[in-house]
Amino acid sequence: MTTKSAGASAKTVAITGGARGIGYETAKALIRRGHRVAIGDIDEVRAKDTAAELGVDVVTRLDVTDPESFLAFLDLVEAELGPLDVLINNAGIMPTGAAHQEEDAVTRRQVEINILGVIFGSKLALQRMLPRRAGHIINTASLAGELAVPGLATYCATKFAVIGFTEAARQEYRKSGIQLSTVRPTFTNTELVAGTTGAKGLRNAEPEEIARATADLIENPRPFVRVTRLAGGVIAAMKFVPTRLSTGLGSALGADSVFLEDVDTAARQAYLNRIRDN
């Protein structure tokens, strides 16, 4: 793997959910840019395999829903790599289906990982960064956190919450020297969308695109970035049209069925089993 030599601009970056998907590609992109990277993931075996492949020296099992586990992860990062410069709260899950049929345990799991994990991590990172008046917290949200998608009611709720939390905290700490940002991907070709077809006329993103956008945010901080540009533009535009029209456009793009009727449940089963087991 070709990497830049780490210089004065190299940062210590901790990534949650770093064993696969967007987290894996983000770790790879940051290593190539010369940053010091640590990954944590609930799947310890996969995390260690990823670390060995990428040359990551700091890797551990991380349960983002457990503040003590998160604390231990960040302690390890700082002990091995130095003061934490960037935390990327990337871990998340996305079950699909009708809201009334969703098992309570699945609902709770989404809230714990997608919301509480982000909040716990952000608080712990802030406690380290505020005395230094420097640092950056990047929370992986979703375009589904800006525009509701049928079949993803709980997931949308969690991503709306991530955006709201991050924006409120960004304003709260705007004079502190700490940056807070969200990355808002469209549906991305990882395990999360296994067995689904995506919206009509809008391609899914590739995880490398989200990784690149996240790496760019570290170098040029701003409140948020939407990926892809086309999907982000559509979402932004739909906020300025009447609800009936935006709902009709969503239906025309297949939003009414893509995560309800058009799901290949067999193709999603391995993913669903993994997120339940972990």
Q: Which residues are catalytic?
A: 155
* 3-state SS, residue 158: helix
Copy the structure tokens of residue 123.
């608080």
CA-CA-CA-CA torsion for 120, 224, 150, 199, nearest 10 degrees? -130
Between CA 85 and CA 135 the distance in angstroms is 5
Copy the structure tokens of residue 63.
């349960």
Nearest to 270 by CA among 192, 215, 212: 192
Between CA 197 and CA 177 the distance in angstroms is 42
In this structure, what DSSP letter does residue 188 have?
B
